[in-house]
Structure 1
Amino acid sequence: MGIPRRWLALLLVGCLCLTAGCNSLLPGSDPQTSTTSTLQGQLAPGLTAQGVTDIGALTDAHARILQEDSYTVSWTNVQRYSNRTVRYQSHGQTQRGPSSTHFYSQTRFPTPPPTFASFTLQHYEYYGKKDTVYQRYIGQNNTTVEVFNRSEAPVAKTFTSREYFYAVLNAFNQSQGFIVTERPNTSSPRYKVQLTRLERPALVVNYHGLETVTNASLTATIDRWGVIHKYQLIYTGQTKNQTVSGSRTVRFTRIGSTQVPQPAWIHNVTTNQSVTGEDDR
């Protein structure tokens, strides 16, 4: 039996976020607004040397470019209690072709794996091509494969979600506690943006499974066209009277050059496996 899709939808939201490879600020630090002396004026859609001036323009530019091109996105999510015990952990990668109907995504849950109705999920995969989507769930003792007719699986939209990027950026003051620097050794201008003054913690709470969030910092690498190549959110909050620290990271690479491989297990899919129609989501 497959995992109910209403639970998978929550997992997909949980697998969002943001970035590997950025040097981030620790939560709670609050430097004064500053920029490098050589940066002036408009740097990218919605981004200037003085701050993020239009969140909508920036997130629209990011989503539009990724919607029109192929890309690879890798992510890691970790939450720990104050004694360093892992509360939640996942990592994975999605490869999407020029068409949103061709993609391959996999997510692993090292420890502790989530459990749904006695099914302990350790690893799941999506492979989509044209109107067919294959899903594979790997648990401790069994593996389930489903095939259903749908032009695009939820995971293909999740990582370019304008709504998510907009909410996380909007959680911070856009000019105070803002630093932007130009990253060296890149073929075209890229800017490292740091936001450290959290003003709307509820927007972070909504996506991270905590009751409250008290501190957070955001670091992103953005190019002149508005693509967010790297993105990291670090936060501290509370749940059930326990302190939790977390980081969510995502990195977009191979934009315009990603090829989507067909996983080997697709060859083993038989007509005996369940087929789900368009209306059963």
Structure 2
Amino acid sequence: MTRNLRRQLLVLTIVVTAGCGGFGFSGGDGSPTPVTPAPVPTGSATTYPTGVGPTGVTSQSLLGSAHGNRLNGTGYAVTMNRTVRYANGSLRSHLRVHVALDANRTHLANISVRGHAAPVLLGRPPATASFWSDGDTYLRRLVRDNQTVHNEYDPPDSYAGTWRYWVHTAALNGRPAADVTQTVAPFHTRTLQSQQSDGTVYVIRGDRLRENTSSTAWASRENATLVAHVTRAGLVRHYRTEYTRVTDDGDPVTVTRTVRFTAVGNTTVGRPPWYDKARSTAG
């Protein structure tokens, strides 16, 4: 596990475990819908997303910025799945974070973990938890071993428990722009094109790492691949990386991380069904 991920999980553990005993599990991997892209004609008058050209990504930072700009000030949902499997296909760990964010920044975050080596941020895996806030009230629903706990809690500081925390730290590695930039940067890329019912999507693929990548984490990763779906407006709807590495115990594993943005400009978050029950119980 990388130093950045350890730091994120440590902070998340503080938020999750304050005033509670532990939880239970539900949730799936959320596999992306496959598409059949076609190569982009290099001589066409195609209008590409910012930071993307006919032969691949021309500027990772511009692509990231365009993506971030599409999300600023609007509602959306983001789902991150990180799965680690052994060479025989058995599960080592799985972390899923789903955050629904209203334009007014009311939010609902759902977290789940499973696998014997999964992060213990929700207690002993498998485990799940939900967190809701409108910026003034903070509520959570925790489940483990068929026992459910609802309560209202005070965040440990001014950042943990906020929508920025759930999106920028729990789901992503920084702001949406930074996460896209850092994800794409290590790869040599190429551009493909897919016609979909809601418009043209450019499929960015990478199956070879750059020789001069500045990321020390990627230096120990092999068989790395990238796929990202980008709209003409610059929204990176979905991106997925996969690579192999060796654990500290010497076991080869495959790590898959997917991030998907949905309902951009069309997400509203109301009170959860367990709102009253949580309000009646202090953390």
Settle same-fold status: TM greater than 0.5: yes
For 2:122 and 2:131, how far apart are their aligned partners in 1?
A: 21
SS of structure 2 residue aligned to 1:60: helix
1:223 aligns with 2:231: yes
Q: Return the match for 1:51 from 48, 53, 56.
A: 56
Partner AA of 1:147 in structure 2: Y
Return closer, same or farther for 1:162/1:37 CA change in 2, 3 Å cut-off.
closer
SS of structure 2 residue aligned to 1:87: strand
Query: What residue is the counterpart of 2:131 in the other structure?
Result: 126
Unaligned runs of 5+ in 1: 13-17, 25-33, 275-281
Return closer, same or farther for 1:156/1:246 CA change in 2, 3 Å cut-off.
closer
Query: What residue is the counterpart of 2:272 in the other structure?
Result: 263
Query: What residue is the counterpart of 2:153 in the other structure?
Result: 147
For 2:43 and 2:154, how far apart are their aligned partners in 1?
A: 53
Query: What residue is the counterpart of 1:106 in the other structure?
Result: 110
Query: What residue is the counterpart of 1:248 in the other structure?
Result: 257
Unaligned runs of 5+ in 2: 1-6, 16-29
CA contact (8 A) 1:195 1:218 kept: yes
Return closer, same or farther for 1:136/1:121 CA change in 2, 3 Å cut-off.
farther
CA contact (8 A) 1:35 1:179 kept: no
TM-score (norm 1): 0.75
For 1:223 and 1:167, how far apart are their aligned partners in 2?
A: 19
Query: What residue is the counterpart of 2:10 in the other structure?
Result: 7
Query: What residue is the counterpart of 2:23 in the other structure?
Result: none
Q: Return the match for 1:74 from 76, 79, 95.
A: 79
For 2:58 and 2:125, how far apart are their aligned partners in 1?
A: 44
Q: Return the match for 2:246 from 221, 238, 244.
A: 238
CA contact (8 A) 2:141 2:148 kept: no
SS of structure 1 residue aligned to 2:195: coil
CA contact (8 A) 1:96 1:258 kept: yes
CA contact (8 A) 2:151 2:279 kept: no
CA contact (8 A) 2:140 2:151 kept: yes
Return closer, same or farther for 1:11/1:62 CA change in 2, 3 Å cut-off.
farther
For 1:135 and 1:53, how far apart are their aligned partners in 2?
A: 43
Identity %: 19
SS of structure 2 residue aligned to 1:57: helix
For 1:61 and 1:137, how far apart are their aligned partners in 2?
A: 36
Return the offset for 1:257: 1.1
Return the offset for 1:119: 4.9
Query: What residue is the counterpart of 2:182 in the other structure?
Result: 167
Return the offset for 1:265: 1.8
Return the offset for 1:155: 0.5
SS of structure 1 residue aligned to 2:255: strand
For 1:192 and 1:37, how far apart are their aligned partners in 2?
A: 15
Partner AA of 2:65 in structure 1: D
CA contact (8 A) 2:151 2:280 kept: no
For 2:258 and 2:274, how far apart are their aligned partners in 1?
A: 28
Q: Which moved more, 1:184-193 or 1:113-122?
A: 113-122
Return closer, same or farther for 1:133/1:61 CA change in 2, 3 Å cut-off.
farther
Return the offset for 1:121: 6.0
Query: What residue is the counterpart of 2:100 in the other structure?
Result: 95
CA contact (8 A) 2:151 2:281 kept: no
CA contact (8 A) 2:224 2:244 kept: yes
CA contact (8 A) 1:114 1:122 kept: no
